[in-house]
Amino acid sequence: MTTTSPNSQLALVVRALLRNRSAVIGGIITLLVLLGALLAPIIAPWDPLKFDPPNRLSGPSPAHWLGTDQYGRDLLSRVLYGARFSLSVAAVSVLAGLLVGGTLGLLAGYFRGWLDLTISRLADILIAYPAILLAIAFLAFLGGGFINLVLAISVVFVGPFIRVARAAVLTVREELYVEAGRAMGASDARIIFRTILPNAAAPLIVEVTLRFAYAVLAEAALSFLGLGIQPPFPALGSMVSEGRAFLSLSPWGSLVPGCAIVLMVLGFNLLGDGLRDALDPRLQKA
């Protein structure tokens, strides 16, 4: 086996990413979205909850760059706060899904036998369950709010993460260096987390970025159905839904948050694709 230090591996991946034009565009979009969301309290021109009835349903103007909604609230400020909420839900959901699903998948792939059978069956059930209905049923049970949204979305992610992690482990568990670790008397935990995990990480990293995009879409869909955070707090999906009633009077209320969702997801998808190409030398050649 040829060994490359983690630093030079990282440099290779970064170089491959920078060569990929769409990945660069995706990276820039993601960075701008992250900055906008993180700095929302500083850069938002208005209080996202402040009513201004005389200015309701207005289009873009110098005072309100992206227009106002049916209560005269500033759409730019609401979108910035909505993106902040959406990104937080996505980040925590993906991490939770990765932690639970990834660990279960690692265990299933490493130990095989009845444990593998049980965990794989659980993954089958979770994947067979209609994802959106699973999330909706969860929210109906738990009610809306940040933590419940995270739970609902991460439950949907557990199944796919189990599959990806298990498959990744299966491809490396028979490698000679794993055998060598075993022969040297390394514990199972050490082999799993120090030897197998770093070598099986690439597909998991790609899955994380693609799931991130999916999480943003899922949060938006659930909020659109009225199952997310309660108004007046801004969530992008519920903003699109609220604007529906005024579509013919002023489409901005739906268009602005909708475009914000598209931009966020587009950024993650482009970056995820680039990362997949950079981490998978086979694809790079193709």
What does the binding site for another protein look like in residue numbers (CB under 8 A)?
22, 121-122, 124-125, 127-134, 136-138, 140-141, 143, 213, 217, 220-221, 224-225, 237, 240-241, 244, 247-248, 251, 254, 258, 261-262, 265-266, 269-270, 273, 286
* Residue 50, CA atoms < 13 Å, CB-side half-sphere: 12
Pick 44 or 216: Cβ nearer another protein: 216
Q: Which is nearer to another protein, 14 or 140 (CB)?
A: 140
By beta-carbon proximity to another protein, the closer residue of 201 and 203 is: 203
C-alpha to C-alpha distance for 280 and 286, rounded to whole angstroms: 10
Q: Which of 136, 124, 122, 278 is nearest to 209 (CA)?
A: 278
**H/E stretch holding 241:** helix 236-244
CB of 119 closer than 8 Å to CB of 152: no
Using an 8 Å Cβ cutoff, are 253 and 246 in contact? yes
Q: Which is nearer to another protein, 110 or 252 (CB)?
A: 252
Q: Least distance (Å) from another protein to the CB of residue 60?
A: 17
* Shortest separation between residue 217's beta carbon and another protein, angstroms: 5
Which CB atom, from 10 or from 283, has the smaller least distance to another protein? Answer: 283
Q: Which residues contact 113 (CB under 8 A, 6 or more apart)?
A: none
The answer to whether 70 and 253 are in contact (CB under 8 A) is yes
Q: How far is the CB of 9 from another protein (least distance, A)?
A: 26
